[in-house]
Amino acid sequence: MKRLTVLPNALVARGIVLAAIAPALLAICNAAPAPIVLTGADRRPATSLNGDWAAIVDPYFSGLFSFHHEEKKNGWFLNRKAQPGDPFPTEYDFSKAPTLKVPADWNTQRESLFFYEGPVWYERDFTYQPKEHTRVFLHVGAANYHSWFWVNGQKVCEHEGGYTSFNCEVTAAIHAGGNFIVAAVDNTRHEDGVPTLETDWWNYGGLTRSVSLIEVPETFIDQYDLHLSRAESNIIEGWVHVEGGKQGAKVEVEIPELDAKTAAALSENGRAAIRLDVKSLERWSPETPKLYKVRISAGKDFIEEEIGFRTVETHGTEILLNGKPIFLRGISIHAEAPYRTGRANTDQDAETLLGWAKELGCNFVRLAHYPHDETMLRAADRMGLLVWSENPVYWALQFDNPKVLAKAEQQLDEEIGTSRNHAAIILWSMANETPNTEARTRFIETEAAHARELDPTRLITAALLVRGEGHTKIIDDPLGKALDVIGFNEYIGWYEGNPESADTTEWRIEYQKPLIVSEFGGGAKAGLHGEENQRWTEEYQASIYRHQFGMLNRIPQLRGMSPWILMDFRSPNRPLTGIQDEFNRKGLISDQGQKKQAFFILQKAYKEKTVGKPE
């Protein structure tokens, strides 16, 4: 008779508990390691994986989930080519699939994918020659919105968030000769997402920014922060972190042009504090966007950076750049590609968009509503444009959901960790137009504290909604207490009143802090002309701008403006046939580069400094 082993109750209980949580434990054990953040990944030699990838559209995600919705561990994607004698019908065969370009959104590559929201599978082959004592990371500039990656059938990472870069270690999965990488990208919007279900921009899905392989030594520099001290004008301070670095190991930072060099030792947390005495440093500014070659080295690893050095702070209601008050003459910009439309992701896109901003007379751009890519930020450094960078905490997130807060903080970690050395960035924006509730205020206060912990050298802001009482507009959102600089959006003349309404509008502002009007404007179809009181004409849009300036000059704390918006951009919320055709038409320039009358109205005001506080 089979002996029944009677287990003590406690063990039985533990067994039951284990059985109950086993799937979750299995999922965690099977979960690939969390991606890491690399500062300055674009400064490292890389093997590009850009180009044509085989692509299979999989609306029911049956490639990853069974018909009982359990995650498959060895789904069909491991057998990407049908093999003779397969024990099952291979219906998903990458070798027979059409291709999609990477980096690019899928919406503007195929008519059938224009409105598509769901999973798409990508696959490409590549050859590789492993090197001794070298670790290899898959660098993904962005994948919107949720993405999974396998190399040679081994899961290497999973990531949520559509606008920040991440890096998955593939050292153990990659081998000499032929390899293949499979990715699943799902741009489905989620109520508990960041952003959430509703946005006023196109939900471009896919591997929307560059993908590459980056090789690093066994211990390597993953993050660093070098900036000019606010307190000591000739000191560059900061830190360098070395992944896997031993306490006491040496880090060096050198700026050859300044004949400056320093060495420091890693502390137990892998960080070395840096302090570099630089006498003849030329500070970065919009007028003199001076960048220095900076060599950061640790053991066998080094990075050749290009960094500008400046200080930014507030003093009362002033924003001080390099200790002097500045007025931010700006414009808002979405990452929409000029001419071809779709997700912007090339140097050419950046040069065109920021070139238009310079032509407008800007010293400032609000990169809405999510972190833009490194090409844009490198261009802003080169061209001397100050940047407002924004975490996509947009409109009505689930502010009472701790998982959503964790996602917002993860995206801040990636945004700030990747881009913290760009002199151009002066403002980290926590949010845009969020509802004034206690849960929202707590959420964003926590987010702001996290941002300050990550980077105490920049200013924290957010674009707030305003409220009105008759001809008076009021800025008293409690969130203002947590901000260094207060952004606010108003659409006098478009969503309320007419352009002339601005002439009689007064402002009541509960904060003695620097203010930026982060949005105003109205829609116009380029080339549509008529009376000034005829909506959608260029004349009407120009009238909105003309009437704004007098009102804005009556706001004593105003220290910047970023009207909405430089260029028309796609949005599913803008269907008006013959006028919008799925574009938000508030651009000063059409998506085809046609400058509207309002462009020249604002350009004149910026050039003659008739709007905004003269420095």
Q: Which residues of this protein are in contact with ligand GCU, per CB under 6 A? A: 200, 369, 432-433, 489, 519, 564, 584, 586
Nearest Cα to Cα of residue 72 among 64, 60, 80: 64
Residue 200 or 445 with smaller CB distance to ligand GCU: 200
Compare residues 293 and 467 and give the one whose CB is closer to ligand GCU.
Answer: 467
Strand partners, 460: 428
Q: Minimum distance from CB of 462 to ligand GCU (Å)?
A: 11
Read out DSSP for 306-368?
A: EE----EEEETTEEEETTEE--EEEEEE-SB-TTT-SB--SHHHHHHHHHHHHHHT-SEEEE-
The side-by-side arrangement of strands in the sheet containing 154-160 is 99-102, 51-57, 119-128, 177-186, 146-151, 154-160
Name which of 305 and 433 has its Cβ closer to ligand GCU.
433
Query: In this structure, what token pair is assigned to residue 122?
Result: 């990508």
Minimum distance from CB of 477 to ligand GCU (Å)? 14
Question: Of 341 and 432, which has the nearer Cβ to ligand GCU?
Answer: 432
Structure tokens at 500: 């002339």
Taking the least distance from each CB to ligand GCU, the nearer of 142 and 466 is 466
Q: How far is the CB of 200 from ligand GCU (least distance, A)?
A: 4
List the end-to-end C-alpha distance of the chain, in Å, as a whole number: 95
Nearer to ligand GCU, 309 or 599 (CB): 599
Contact 393, 444 (CB under 8 A): yes
305 versus 519: smaller Cβ distance to ligand GCU:
519
Q: Which is nearer to ligand GCU, 421 or 432 (CB)?
A: 432
Length of the chain: 615
CA 606 to chain centre: 28
CB of 65 to ligand GCU, least distance (A): 33
Shortest distance in whole angstroms from residue 331 CB to ligand GCU: 14
Amino acid at 443: F
Indicate the burial class of 431 (C-beta count within 10 angstroms; 0-12, 13-18, 19 or more): buried
Which residues neighbour 614 within 8 Å (Cβ) at sequence distance 6 or greater? 327
Q: Based on CB atoms, which residue is closest to ligand GCU, 276 or 466?
A: 466
Largest CA distance in the chain: 99
The angle at the Cα of 362, spanning 434 to 422, to the nearest 5 degrees, equals: 70
Residue whose CB is less far from ligand GCU, 369 or 525: 369
Question: How far is Cα 492 from Cα 506, in angstroms, rounded to an integer?
Answer: 12
Nearest distance, CB of residue 405 and ligand GCU, angstroms: 21
Q: How far is the CB of 366 from ligand GCU (least distance, A)?
A: 10
Q: How far is the CB of 485 from ligand GCU (least distance, A)?
A: 17
Residue 494 vs 606, nearer CB to ligand GCU: 494
Closer residue to ligand GCU (CB): 151 or 408: 408
Least separation in angstroms between residue 464's CB and ligand GCU is 11
Contact partners, residue 612, CB within 8 Å, separation at least 6: 327, 329, 552, 553, 558, 560, 561
By beta-carbon proximity to ligand GCU, the closer residue of 285 and 571 is 571
Query: 195: cis peptide before it, omega within 30°?
Result: yes
Local structure of 111: helix, strand or coil: helix
Buried b (16+ CB within 10 A) or exposed e, 552-572: beebebbbbbbbbbbbbbbbe
- CB nearer ligand GCU, residue 138 or residue 483: 483
Backbone angles phi, psi at 13, to 5 degrees: -60, -45
Q: How far is the CB of 368 from ligand GCU (least distance, A)?
A: 6
Taking CB positions, which residue lies at the least distance from ligand GCU?
Answer: 200
- Tell me the closest approach of the beta carbon of residue 466 to ligand GCU, in angstroms: 11
The answer to whether 519 and 561 have CB atoms below 8 angstroms apart is no
| Strands 51-57 and 154-160, sheet pairing | unpaired
Owner of token pair 């009007």: 517
8 A C-beta contact, residue 68 and residue 119: no
Q: How far is the CB of 523 from ligand GCU (least distance, A)?
A: 8
Q: Cβ closer to ligand GCU: 489 or 557?
A: 489
- Asked, as a colleague might, if the bond just before 370 is cis with ω within 30 of 0, I would say no
What is the CA 147 to chain-centroid distance, rounded?
A: 16
Q: Smallest distance, Å, CB 586 to ligand GCU? A: 5
CB of 388 to ligand GCU, least distance (A): 13
Q: Containing H/E element for 25?
A: helix 9-30
Kindly state the smallest distance separating residue 149's Cβ from ligand GCU, in Å. Answer: 31
DSSP one-letter string for 561-595: E--S-SB-EE-TT---TTTTSSEE---SB-TT-PB
